[in-house]
Amino acid sequence: MKMNFEKLSLRIQQTSDYLRTNAVKAVNMHITLRNWLTGFYIVEFEQHGSDRAEYGVKLLENLAKRISVKGLTAPELSRCRQFYQRYPQIHALLEKDLKSFLPDVFFEDFIIENHSLSILGSATQEFYGSFQEGGQSHLYGLFQSVSYSHFTELIKIGDSSKRRFYELLILETQPTVKELKRQIDSLTYERIGLSQNHQHSFAEVLRSIAPQDIQDMVKSHYFFEFLNLAQPKLIEENELESALIEHLQQFMLELGNGFCYEARQKRLLIGGEYYFVDLVFYHRILKCHVLVELKTENAKHEHIGQLKAYLSFYSKNIRAGSDNPPVGILLVTSQNKTLVEYAIGDSDLEIFVSQYQLQLPDKAELRAFIEKELRKEK
């Protein structure tokens, strides 16, 4: 094999990176499996242990003291139990994909009889059944891809369809735990439920997790249910703006990754008159200002014209030399897509018109979409 110094150093670096990555994956998979098995053993003991009555509600505290395993405190043992109860279908992985992880002697205790699943309720049994029919591969993909910390976020979700949606999101994007929490907290699942085109909206979410360009940064639909407005149809623009600022953290989560708050009612002196931009942000990833105008009505051409003027002023007078051109987002209650197309069609400015919603959608129609996408992962 012919080799020079550059090839030598490159080959060692590649080998090291590959094996280190696989070592981390292996550790993550073993920890995840350990915690699931721990949950399984606890549930089995609570249901069928010969001396279970002696421990009662103190079981986990006594168990944590007895085993003295670092990290397996009583609260963590409780989380392991919940992990098993949320994912009983991992049993199928142990019979097939994960069997090499354990010596055969462990499988003498690991036989899930019908009584073990009966304690989980009809909804979980139904979910377990659908998993057995064709969802096994996607769960093994989760085992290979993420840490147990990701599962601790997933097991908090009681709705099985919603949980499967975030499983799909993990498989598609490999998010950090922090990013996964951000997607859950910003109600990504519910927001997609508002869309008439779930496939398109889901693609938008995937791009927004790591935006590469301006189009990735802006969503077609924004969801402000966290405002808890009693009469959303009667709200005025200044009230909506104030409510969003009062809930700035949730609002920032909804806007997406990379937004930094800069100003409210930013004053611009244009031709001797003062004008005010509702909200101004700076996007740290795409290096540009983002001007947001809020309207509690349908999109109108004068709204777009106003935003055009603000963007032109910002680009000429405020934009720093290293910044990209500013972006404008007009948030309205409803889009007139034809009007919007004509109003921004001849502009060289980055203007987007997005719809916002103040209430949660009906989630039922999402289930078929999620199942369809998960089947693609097989």
Which domains does the chain show, CATH number per domain? 5-156 (no CATH), 157-208+364-378 (no CATH), 218-357 (3.40.1350.10)
Amino acid 365: pLDDT? 56
**Residue range 83-106: mean pLDDT, rounded:** 77
Q: DSSP assignment, residue 331? A: E
Amino acid 363: pLDDT? 57
Q: Which tokens go with 343?
A: 């109003």
- Whether 113 shows a pLDDT value over 70: the answer reads no
290 band by pLDDT with thresholds 50, 70 and 90: very high
Amino acid 225: pLDDT? 74
- Residue bearing the bigger pLDDT, 293 or 198: 293
Q: Which tokens go with 22?
A: 């696989």
Q: CA nearest 360: which of 165, 168, 188?
A: 188
State the DSSP string of 187-248.
THHHHHHH-S-HHHHHHHHHHHHS--SHHHH--SEEE-GGG--SSGGG--HHHHHHHHHHTH
Q: Classify the phi-psi angles of 102: left when phi > 0, otherwise alpha if psi is within -120 to 50, otherwise beta.
A: beta
**Residue range 109-130: mean pLDDT, rounded:** 42
Q: CA nearest 170: which of 185, 188, 187, 150?
A: 150
Specify the amino acid at residue 137: S
Q: DSSP assignment, residue 298? A: B
Q: Give the C-alpha distances (Å, rounded to integers) separating 210 from 177, 203, 282.
A: 14, 12, 16
Amino acid 131: pLDDT? 39
- Whether 154 shows a pLDDT value over 90: the answer reads yes
Q: Which tokens go with 373?
A: 């996408």
pTM: 0.55
**Residue range 22-51: mean pLDDT, rounded:** 86
Top-ranked range on mean pLDDT: pick from 92-96, 251-255, 307-311: 307-311
H-helix or E-strand containing 117? Answer: helix 114-118
Q: Give the C-alpha distances (Å, rounded to integers) separating 224 from 228, 241, 277, 361, 373.
A: 8, 11, 20, 12, 26
86 band by pLDDT with thresholds 50, 70 and 90: very high
Q: How far apart are CA 24 and CA 21, in angstroms?
A: 5
In percent, the amount of the chain with pLDDT more than 70 equals: 75
Q: How far apart are CA 279 and CA 266, in angstroms?
A: 7
198-227 pLDDT, tens digit each: 676 677 666 666 666 677 678 777 778 778
